[in-house]
């Protein structure tokens, strides 16, 4: 079953019709002539005994304003509908209403928590139960204070057998770098014409507020980044209301997903191939400059903006499957921080200390002394950004978390729904 959102428009209180009656042209002329006659009479009787001075009671008065009555209607789910997806939202219209309320209850009379959106929809806090009857009531109240109501009783579908699992790379309580994208994956490819529905159920709340957008990396993965790096110490809550949501070919979302994380300090790394140095800043202040060695000409490092993907205090680099015999080796490595899927890391390289700050001798990694690698390892978090400048090769998008290697205009093109600038 394909459920599509209906775009709704509600008339605001500012659009109400004034209820004031108007005089006909004939009656208006007569009123003017009569008013003139009365004015002449009053002028002529200055010495008379008329002490009232108020004139007829109706002269100059306004007739009572007729206040419009509010109305309400529920457009979905339809009354008595069966097999409604558990992701169902209530869509409605209201007219001439100064206040609109939506209430949803199950068969036991228990209220379902939810949120009223500005586009004529109400969305439950979590997916509805399967095989359960609910009643939605929309109440619209106008200027006259009299409420108008609309109701719809519907029943959700049985639990589907074909479900899509939704997972997040990050988990509750993590502290990440200011370049960390929010990464959500699906256990099955989401058809292109369903991605807008899925994305509308994906919300991000950042404190302080920051503009951002979701970007579909592939049919099974979508990421979110702000317009600029996250601000230091930002609290981030994101919610994927996928439970019971149709996802194409008879598949439905398995469950809702929520994640609560935060960013740390704004630690940034900049590598300049010309100077052979890395500059490390925290919250805008330089805290260290480190001599480095990048990839030699046959195995150059990538220029672009990357973020730290993973950190390993001790690991082994094994490149014995490299087609070029000169690039095959097995080496114990300390303080390794991955930058690309292609194998570029920041790591300790005690064998190249004499070259660091002078020339490039690595296989594409950012080499530094063991002491400097250890110091940096203890400063960084997953998601901290690093910019490499001036090498022979440009970073390929997709070779790592390259969300920041794209301009904002490029990034918004990956959204399944039109981008609306903040403000």
Distance CA 293, CA 359 (A): 6
Specify the residue for token string 């202040």: 285
Backbone angles phi, psi at 362, to 5 degrees: -85, 180
Helix (H) or strand (E) holding 408: helix 408-412
Tokens standing for residue 113 = 């928590």
Distance CA 230, CA 409 (A): 18
The two most distant CA atoms of the chain are separated, in Å, by: 125
Specify the residue for token string 């390794």: 336
Active site residue 347: yes
H helices present in 191-340, as ranges: 195-200
Distance CA 375, CA 373 (A): 5
Query: Cα torsion for 238, 242, 247, 251, to the nearest 10°?
Result: 140
Q: Is the dihedral of CA 364, 370, 376, 377 positive or negative?
A: positive
Tokens standing for residue 114 = 């939810």
- Which strands form 133-141's sheet, in the order they lie side by side? 99-106, 133-141, 147-155
Q: Where are the beta strands (DSSP E) in 274-410?
A: 277-282, 285-291, 302-307, 310-318, 330-338, 345-348, 366-368, 385-389, 393-394
Active site residue 363: no
Backbone angles phi, psi at 279, to 5 degrees: -105, 125
DSSP 259-301: EEEEE---EEEEEETTTTEEEEEETTEEEEEEE-B-B-TTSPP
- Is residue 196 a contact partner of residue 184, using CB atoms and an 8 Å limit? no
Distance CA 226, CA 230 (A): 6
Q: Which residues are registered as beta bridge partners of 58?
A: none
- Is residue 395 a contact partner of residue 406, using CB atoms and an 8 Å limit? no
Distance CA 191, CA 188 (A): 9
Annotated catalytic residues are 347, 365
């Amino acid at each position: 079953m394909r459920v599509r959102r209906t775009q709704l428009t509600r008339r605001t209180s500012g659009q109400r019709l004034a209820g004031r009656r108007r005089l006909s042209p004939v009656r208006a002329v007569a009123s003017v002539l009569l008013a003139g006659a009365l004015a002449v009479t009053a002028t002529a009787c200055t010495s008379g005994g008329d002490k009232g001075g108020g004139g007829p009671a109706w002269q100059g008065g306004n007739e009572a304003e007729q206040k419009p009555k509010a109305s309400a209607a529920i457009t979905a789910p339809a009354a008595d509908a069966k097999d409604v997806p558990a992701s169902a939202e209530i869509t409605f219209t209201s007219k001439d209403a100064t206040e609109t309320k939506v209430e949803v209850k199950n068969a036991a009379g228990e209220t379902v928590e939810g949120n009223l959106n500005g586009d004529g929809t109400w969305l439950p806090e979590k997916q509805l139960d399967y095989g359960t009857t609910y009643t939605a009531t929309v109440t619209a109240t106008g200027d006259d204070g009299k409420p108008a109501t609309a109701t719809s009783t519907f029943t959700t579908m049985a639990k589907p057998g074909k479900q899509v699992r939704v997972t997040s790379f990050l988990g509750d309580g993590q502290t990440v770098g200011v370049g960390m994208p929010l990464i959500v994956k699906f256990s099955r490819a989401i058809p292109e014409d369903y991605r807008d529905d899925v994305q509308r159920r994906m919300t991000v709340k950042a404190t302080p507020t920051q503009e951002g957008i979701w970007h579909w990396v592939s049919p099974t993965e979508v990421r979110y980044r702000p317009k600029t790096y996250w601000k230091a110490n930002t609290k981030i809550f994101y919610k994927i209301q996928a439970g019971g949501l149709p996802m194409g070919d008879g598949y439905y979302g398995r469950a809702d997903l929520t994640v609560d994380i935060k960013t740390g300090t704004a630690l940034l790394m900049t590598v300049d191939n010309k100077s052979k140095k890395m500059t490390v800043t925290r919250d805008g202040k330089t805290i260290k400059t480190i001599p480095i060695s990048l990839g030699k000409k046959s195995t150059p490092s990538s220029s672009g903006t990357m973020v730290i993907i993973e950190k390993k205090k001790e690991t082994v680099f094994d490149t014995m499957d490299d087609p070029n015999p000169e690039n095959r080796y097995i080496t114990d490595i300390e303080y390794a921080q991955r930058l690309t899927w292609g194998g570029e890391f920041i790591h300790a390289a005690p064998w190249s200390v004499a070259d660091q700050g002078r020339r490039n001798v690595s296989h594409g990694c950012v080499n530094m002394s063991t002491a400097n690698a250890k110091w940096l390892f203890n400063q960084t978090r997953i998601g901290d950004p690093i910019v490499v400048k001036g090498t022979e090769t440009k970073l390929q998008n997709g070779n790592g978390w390259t969300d920041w290697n794209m301009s904002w205009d490029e990034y918004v093109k990956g959204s399944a729904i039109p981008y609306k600038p903040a403000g």
